[in-house]
Amino acid sequence: MLKTTNHNIYDEWLKKEASTLKSLINQNEISVPKFYDFFKIKNTSNLLMSFENGITLSEALNSNIPHKQKLKLIEKFGQYIYHLHSLDTNKFHFKHDDWLTHQLIKAEKYLNSNQTEGNQKLLTILKKEKPKYMKQTIIHGDYTIDNVLINLDGSFKFIDVSGMEIGDPRYDEALAIRKFINKHDYLNAFYKGYQYNKITFVEYNYFCNGLYEFF
């Protein structure tokens, strides 16, 4: 499979995804597509990786499968990110730093270059109202129902991993539940699988309706 871009911000993200996939080649704890190559042709960046058979969780939830099966998939969705957040960060080649501070710096950079939907007022609020620090874990960085692939054997695989790094697990949690925040049966299924933390409404709003606007 070939992913291609010639847009500045997407070029940065594609290069980061290539680096992440390459660093995860010789391990079996984080399931991702296999990295083959990253190369540039003129102004175009290209990432060559394995093609994975399957459908996204979003596609599965929009299909005609029984409701109970959908709840099981959402529970597994929660278990899957719980497993990632529980991994030993020292076993992987991810940079250790203050993730949230770094994200706010990037948000300001994107804002100043007109590459974001966020605005200065929102950024000022995010800087002023940073949530209480939580121990950092490995995070996906864009853990939505569109970025998990269900393989033919029923196993899950992370896709679109440009944001995978050591960071605040509440960011993953907020993005994971954003599409079903008002569906109590879906939320209950997710938290049956995800037992690392239960985000508060204030934290959810900060990460999902605040920080995510810049990315």
Structure tokens at 84: 């990632």
> What pLDDT does 104 receive?
98
Q: Which residue has the tokens 């540039």?
A: 40
CA distance 115 to 137: 28
Q: Cα separations (Å) of 136 from 85, 99, 165, 181?
A: 9, 8, 10, 24
How far is C-alpha 172 from the chain's CA centre? 6
> What pLDDT does 8 receive?
79
> What pLDDT does 204 receive?
98
Residue 67 in contact with residue 121, Cβ under 8 Å? no
pLDDT 10s digits, 184-206: 999 999 999 999 889 999 999 99
Which residues of the chain carry a pLDDT beneath 70? Answer: none
Average pLDDT over all residues of the chain: 96
Greatest C-alpha distance within the chain:
50
For 91, which DSSP code?
G
Percent of the chain with pLDDT over 70: 100
Q: Cα separations (Å) of 143 from 26, 45, 84, 137, 195?
A: 23, 24, 11, 14, 16
Distance in angstroms between the alpha carbons of the first and the last residue of the chain:
24
> What pLDDT does 97 receive?
87
> What pLDDT does 155 receive?
94
- How would DSSP label each residue in 158-215? E---TT-EEE-HHHHHHHHHGGGTT-HHHHHHHHHH--S----HHHHHHHHTTGGGG-
For 78, which DSSP code?
H
For each of the domains in the chain, give its residue range(s) and CATH number, in order of start: 53-214 (3.90.1200.10)
